[in-house]
Structure 1
Amino acid sequence: MKKPFFLFALCFFVLHGLSLRAQNQELIQSLHRKLATTSEAERFEILNDLAWEYRWAAPDSTIYYAQKAYTLGEQLNVSIGLAKPLNFIGVARNYQGKRLEAFDAYDNALRIASQQNDSVQIAYTNNNLGRLFFEQGLLSRSYDYFLRAQALFENINDSSGLAYTYQSLANLYKLQQDNAKAESNYLKAYRIRMRGQSTRDIMSALVMIGRLYQETGQLDKALHYLHMADSAGHVIQDEINLADIKTFIAKTQLSKGLLDAADSMCLAGLTVIVRMNNTRMMPQAYMTMGQIKFAKNELAQARKYFKLSMDVATRANELNTKMEVFYWLWKLSLKENDRAGALENQNQYLILKDSLNDLNVARQVERLQFEMDIERKEQENELLKVNHARNEAVILQQRLQNITLIVIIGFISILGLVQWRNSKKRREINDMLERQNQFIRSQREEIVDQNQKLFKHNRQLSDINHEKDTLMSIVAHDLKAPLNRIKGIADIMELEGGLTTDQQEYIHMTKNATQAGLDLIKDLLDVHMLEENVTPNYTTFDISAFMLEKVEAFTPIATAKQIHLHISRVESESVRLDADYLSRIADNLLSNALKFSPPNGTVEVAAGKTADHFWFSVRDEGPGFSEGDKQQMFQKFRKLTARPTAGETSNGLGLAIVKTLVDRLKGEILLNSEDGKGSEFVIQFPLS
């Protein structure tokens, strides 16, 4: 199932977001006891340790103890390590979602660490800045910081920091779908964790590797590492994270078809999650159990768990989970032959999908605003540096003047010459400073002017985007629903019977007209969605089952036109592709084939694999394409010379949508057709 890009940004370093139960409460209590009895120098380190231990469950406490540590460090005039509490404040601010405040804290930490020549804190600050920019989607900037951190940690031989950096780089490569580099960095971090012998860190590293293999389809490797993580969790008796690991294992077993094992494993994890009322893990745990029951054909149980997942996701306002639940309820209704329920759940799924797309746009705007704010702060920092340099020059000048006065007292004979030279030098320096001030003022005015222009341009873009979204919302909600109701009423009248021949004809015309309107709205919404350039979501599925589902869906339309629709060739093989995109491609090609084929004609569907490609074809006995049609066939709203054979409507969007989707999947469209002799579309997708 497709998941939006923004899920990635929300899931970054999820394995580090442990619950309060994962905190070392015994260590925290021990640190509090030591705090009351130790010396001032030791208090500085204990306050830092307390700040670090509270970072996950209580960021406010982290900020409180880190600020106390920083104040104490200044009073003690510590020669190294003063940047550490500032780094902890940045981590806490980041967990609170206050990105700019986190950046300020890290920037101050980097400045102080550089002044103290503290290589350890410089390295950690670079890694933290990389994580901050990574979470905002600024991958290029985050990559630079990670590489600096890696070089520093290697230079000072800090294995723990190096492990963090390897995991940071692995997450970045994973987002870029460079799975080979992601795997290499996760394994490097794991080997370091093994040498460090911290069971909690080892468990975290194992889960990261297992999740990577799970997501890339290497299920045996995924199970191996997840079982190792499960064993580590038992050693430290980390009950809640053990439950989370069990759900990951269950998902992997489900993908391998080990349904009974998956059922037992997921139930064990779900029981703990429900008992501990962990709402963060609960929706996905319920979802996984529902998928297992669905695969075992225990449909009543599957519906029960999907409903439980929906309830928790609704309370927590987790739109992604709700969308996924509606998707599985849609599939469940289809399996139960509940077409009304399937339609309702499908509509809810599509509505949430559109909402998430809108949320993605908002997050992109937020990310752009963050980048602009950071650039503004960096410019302000540069101005502060210039001012600092100017002040240093003034201070230096004053020192020179004092020395000059001492020399004047000793050497009265040369007083006039020295005063003249100093006066001249002051004038030159003042002139230079005035020129610098004028330049800084002009730069500041230019920055203000550019910011005003950017603000105005962004507001115009926002207004245009809002008007577009409003129009699409009207199409989706104010037009689609009434047409559905009209079609439903016509269906009811037809089922009740007792209609005259003319009335039956009127009912038929009404249904055709409303269906044409619904098709146009669907195509418009598809065009609107496709313009957003969403990254394809590749999954593995069986092509024969996919083909049977498509043919079954279009059989009623073919029967109504007395057209023989059948599969001429297909093999039960697995392909890795975006199933949603392929479904839309097939829907548009089959719809066109049936629409332009004559009665008593034939439409054939086929699919298969070659050494390098997966291909899918649709052949009909319609009017075919002229040379002029072939030049214009993929343009939006371009109607070609052929006309539907039963009076259906054609809005000229179907082939444009097919072309867009095929291009996104790196595929190729081949057309075998002659004017008046039918046509055959062959779609090829590379296997790599």
Structure 2
Amino acid sequence: MKELNIPTNRESGNNSSVDSLQKISEDLNHAEKLRRSDFVGTILRLENLLERLEKLNSDRNSKEYKHAYTTILTHLSNVHFYSSKYEKALHYTALLETASVYYSDNLMKANALLQLGNIHSDLGDYTESMKCSTSALEIFKELDNLEGMGSTNNNIGNVFLFQKNFDEAIPHYEKALFYFNQVDQKMNKSNVLQNMASIYIHREDYPNALNCLAEAEKLKVEINDQFGVAVCKFLTGDIHLDAKEFDIALKYYRESLEIQTKLDDKNGIFYSNMHLGKTYVDKYLTEGQKEKALLTKAEKYFLESLFTAQRVNSKYTLSLIYKNLSSLYEILGNLEKALDFHKKLYEIEKDIYNEKVTEDILKLEKELQVKEAKHTAEINQLRNVELAETIKKLEEIVKQKNEFFGVVVHDLKNPIGNIKLLAEFLIDEGNYSHAEVNEFKKFIVESADTSLELITQLLDYAAIEQGKITLNVNDFDIISETERIIRLYKLKTMQKEIEVKLKNELKNNIIHSDKNALVQIIDNLFSNAIKFSPVQKNVMIRLLKEDDFLKIEIKDEGPGFSNEDRKKLFNQFSKLSARPTAGEHSSGLGLSIVKKLVDSLKGKIECDSEVGNGASMIVRIPI
């Protein structure tokens, strides 16, 4: 939620200063009705009201003056925030916080902290946002203010949403809905529903996303919230973009942009322009890359987004547009511009996603849960356990990641060093026998293969982590592709005297799926089976149709996996007790890449294995 809510007090007196305050209050009521449909006009009215109020020769301690003054400050902060004029929003929120000290008003202080949490969240300063939100929540709980508790839970959910930590965001949004339902807050409830719709869109759960948007839009129509209507249209556009219904998506984004432009909502203008650009790029890539004019339109909207992001000076929005512009110029073949924006992206992402920020947020989340213990001891105990487990898992991931990159450096250094050394031997070829020279050449090829495999997996991993999996579903011969993979590994299977058995139980070899993803899945699993197989053993590849799924089974006769290994088999950077049987290189990324690819195809993967009895990797892909 992006609004503060100062309790109103409509009492009036009979002296002349109260009469003047009454006139200001009447004008303030009119401005309040426009604040979600006319940002520019509302700001002008509110600034005029503030000037008139400060010129009054009246008692500033009166209830009427306090109400008018703090309400004007609240709305000025809100409207500037919605317009993405964060400097102005911070200015008026600071005045509100000062007023809370002057009036000794804890509710006012909590509302000021709530708004500061909103602003810092939008600016990408998530640590400061969490500090403000947790402080506000503590005060709201002391006051038993349900609306405030709902608002701060929504704020905290937003921090996790921006960090793409959806599992942490959802519980806070559900709490916010619980509180808002109790106090019948339509505006706040509709904002939470929009946020939840964003998460469902990220998860490709479109039915739930559309349900949330429909309920949110209904509420926003009831309260004449033009800003909210624009957001609903924007998110609806997102759903159609994901469904590759490009023309429908363009329609919704344009309608959203039209409303946001009238409201002077810079944040909304940024996102609508950026998504219009993304839609044109996706349309170009999906429809055969024929209409270059689509990329020209995309560039226009991306540059509009860049201009807005630079005016707002938000790290998060700048990182998004840098990434899109870098990709666009790469497609256009303008590598100089692509590299320039990629460098800018790298620099700004270091500020946003560094480990310090992540650790600070987790620390503040722990502090929040400890404070909640004052209200419910039982919940506190449960949450402390959950939090400790989460922190332990995160620390383990960071440790594994650091160890992994140490291994990467070591694994690349060794084969590259071998290539250099062997090449130096070949310079003095006359000093060695023909057999020795051939052995040197063989070692060079093996070292190069090791380096190439590691680099390829690193690139695949990086592409997947950046969300660059683009599915291209077509008809193709799965058996032909599998036979080609077997041929590619012929030398390695011959070296280990492994017999490869291909069992084709398909009635039709032609399947409808993403060829590249499936080939990569089979390639990785087959390569692993060879690595983990002792000499003179068998590797079986079996393909069949099971209901509406393509079932791929790749079985080896290697050492198998323990129960502990199977639990972390598809995790990134995991170390397994089972090792390749001939000292082959293993990066620890192959199976995590396979899992991501299987997930992208809406499939399932499982491992059937016992220690000493080999392993069977089973993949099911809907076709």
TM-score, normalising length: structure 2: 0.62
In structure 2, which of residues 337, 344, 353 is the aligned counterpart of residue 312 of structure 1? 344
**Residue 588 of structure 2 is aligned to residue 588 of structure 1:** no
1:553 Cα deviation (Å)? 7.7
- 1:65-110 Cα distance to aligned partner (Å, 9 max, x none): 2343355467679999786444323323544321442234422552
Instruction: Give the structure 2 partner of residue 45 of structure 1.
Output: 71
Instruction: Give the structure 1 partner of residue 363 of structure 2.
Output: 369
Residue 492 and residue 174 in structure 1: after superposition, are their counterparts in 2 closer, same or farther (change >3 A)?
A: farther
**What is the RMSD of the two structures over their aligned residues, measured on CA atoms?**
5.9
Instruction: Give the structure 2 partner of residue 227 of structure 1.
Output: 251
Q: SS at the partner of 1:37?
A: helix
User: Are the aligned partners of 1:584 and 1:658 in contact in 2 as well (CA < 8 Å)?
Assistant: no
1:249 Cα deviation (Å)? 1.6
1:219-258 superposed matches below 5 A:
219-220=244-245, 223-234=247-258, 237=261, 240-254=270-284, 256-257=286-287
The 10-residue stretch of structure 1 (511-520 or 55-64) with the greater mean CA deviation from structure 2: 511-520
Instruction: Give the structure 2 partner of residue 667 of structure 1.
Output: 605
The 10-residue stretch of structure 1 (280-289 or 572-581) with the greater mean CA deviation from structure 2: 572-581
In structure 2, which of residues 136, 150, 154 is the aligned counterpart of residue 106 of structure 1? 136
User: Are the aligned partners of 2:237 and 2:248 in contact in 1 as well (CA < 8 Å)?
Assistant: yes
User: Are the aligned partners of 2:236 and 2:252 in contact in 1 as well (CA < 8 Å)?
Assistant: no
Instruction: Give the structure 2 partner of residue 615 of structure 1.
Output: 551
Instruction: Give the structure 2 partner of residue 166 of structure 1.
Output: 193
Instruction: Give the structure 2 partner of residue 507 of structure 1.
Output: 440
Instruction: Give the structure 2 partner of residue 348 of structure 1.
Output: none
Residue 587 and residue 203 in structure 1: after superposition, are their counterparts in 2 closer, same or farther (change >3 A)?
A: farther
- The residue identity in structure 2 corresponding to 1:219 is K
**Residue 311 of structure 2 is aligned to residue 286 of structure 1:** no
Q: Which runs of 5+ in 2 are unaligned?
A: 3-36, 57-64, 311-317, 378-383, 567-575
1:250 Cα deviation (Å)? 1.8
Matched residue pairs, number? 522
Instruction: Give the structure 1 partner of residue 569 of structure 2.
Output: none
Instruction: Give the structure 2 partner of residue 687 of structure 1.
Output: 622
Q: Which runs of 5+ in 1 are unaligned?
A: 1-11, 14-21, 294-300, 321-355, 384-449, 644-648
User: Are the aligned partners of 2:257 and 2:273 in contact in 1 as well (CA < 8 Å)?
Assistant: no
User: Are the aligned partners of 2:281 and 2:295 in contact in 1 as well (CA < 8 Å)?
Assistant: no
In structure 2, which of residues 446, 456, 471 is the aligned counterpart of residue 540 of structure 1? 471
Residue 507 and residue 265 in structure 1: after superposition, are their counterparts in 2 closer, same or farther (change >3 A)?
A: same
CA distance in 2, matches of 1:194, 1:156: 19
- 1:297-348 Cα distance to aligned partner (Å, 9 max, x none): xxxx26455434323323434699xxxxxxxxxxxxxxxxxxxxxxxxxxxx
User: Are the aligned partners of 1:487 and 1:514 in contact in 2 as well (CA < 8 Å)?
Assistant: yes
CA distance in 2, matches of 1:375, 1:368: 11
User: Are the aligned partners of 1:616 and 1:683 in contact in 2 as well (CA < 8 Å)?
Assistant: yes
- 1:108-154 Cα distance to aligned partner (Å, 9 max, x none): 55247647xxx655553453354456667887775455345435545
Q: SS at the partner of 1:684?
A: strand
1:514 Cα deviation (Å)? 3.6
* Greater C-alpha radius of gyration: 1
User: Are the aligned partners of 2:237 and 2:249 in contact in 1 as well (CA < 8 Å)?
Assistant: yes
1:341-380 superposed matches below 5 A:
365-379=359-373
Residue 242 and residue 495 in structure 1: after superposition, are their counterparts in 2 closer, same or farther (change >3 A)?
A: farther
1:414-433 superposed matches below 5 A:
none
1:166 Cα deviation (Å)? 0.9
Residue 632 and residue 501 in structure 1: after superposition, are their counterparts in 2 closer, same or farther (change >3 A)?
A: farther
1:37 Cα deviation (Å)? 0.8
Q: SS at the partner of 1:219?
A: coil
1:257 Cα deviation (Å)? 2.0
**Residue 513 of structure 2 is aligned to residue 574 of structure 1:** yes
User: Are the aligned partners of 1:638 and 1:652 in contact in 2 as well (CA < 8 Å)?
Assistant: no
- The residue identity in structure 2 corresponding to 1:667 is I
- The residue identity in structure 2 corresponding to 1:313 is L
The 10-residue stretch of structure 1 (93-102 or 549-558) with the greater mean CA deviation from structure 2: 549-558
User: Are the aligned partners of 2:96 and 2:112 in contact in 1 as well (CA < 8 Å)?
Assistant: yes
**Residue 247 of structure 2 is aligned to residue 206 of structure 1:** no
Residue 459 and residue 121 in structure 1: after superposition, are their counterparts in 2 closer, same or farther (change >3 A)?
A: closer
Residue 183 and residue 546 in structure 1: after superposition, are their counterparts in 2 closer, same or farther (change >3 A)?
A: farther
User: Are the aligned partners of 1:206 and 1:229 in contact in 2 as well (CA < 8 Å)?
Assistant: yes
**Residue 58 of structure 2 is aligned to residue 32 of structure 1:** no
TM-score, normalising length: structure 1: 0.57
User: Are the aligned partners of 2:277 and 2:298 in contact in 1 as well (CA < 8 Å)?
Assistant: yes
User: Are the aligned partners of 1:234 and 1:242 in contact in 2 as well (CA < 8 Å)?
Assistant: no
User: Are the aligned partners of 2:80 and 2:89 in contact in 1 as well (CA < 8 Å)?
Assistant: yes
Residue 545 and residue 316 in structure 1: after superposition, are their counterparts in 2 closer, same or farther (change >3 A)?
A: farther
CA distance in 1, matches of 2:280, 2:345: 20
In structure 1, which of residues 173, 180, 183 is the aligned counterpart of residue 210 of structure 2? 183
CA distance in 2, matches of 1:614, 1:241: 39
Q: SS at the partner of 2:550?
A: strand
1:493 Cα deviation (Å)? 7.8
Residue 234 and residue 546 in structure 1: after superposition, are their counterparts in 2 closer, same or farther (change >3 A)?
A: farther
CA distance in 2, matches of 1:382, 1:638: 45
- The residue identity in structure 2 corresponding to 1:574 is S
- 1:173-231 Cα distance to aligned partner (Å, 9 max, x none): 4566644323311232234345555544323222222224434xx222x6424422213
CA distance in 2, matches of 1:181, 1:460: 30
1:33 Cα deviation (Å)? 3.1
1:160 Cα deviation (Å)? 2.3
Residue 90 and residue 243 in structure 1: after superposition, are their counterparts in 2 closer, same or farther (change >3 A)?
A: closer
CA distance in 1, matches of 2:589, 2:158: 40
Q: SS at the partner of 2:187?
A: helix
User: Are the aligned partners of 2:473 and 2:514 in contact in 1 as well (CA < 8 Å)?
Assistant: yes
**Residue 517 of structure 2 is aligned to residue 487 of structure 1:** no
Instruction: Give the structure 1 partner of residue 21 of structure 2.
Output: none
Identity %: 9
CA distance in 1, matches of 2:117, 2:394: 33
Instruction: Give the structure 2 partner of residue 62 of structure 1.
Output: 89
Residue 656 and residue 477 in structure 1: after superposition, are their counterparts in 2 closer, same or farther (change >3 A)?
A: closer
CA distance in 1, matches of 2:154, 2:589: 45
CA distance in 2, matches of 1:372, 1:666: 34
Q: SS at the partner of 1:540?
A: coil
CA distance in 2, matches of 1:465, 1:125: 30
**Residue 407 of structure 2 is aligned to residue 475 of structure 1:** yes
CA distance in 1, matches of 2:279, 2:343: 24
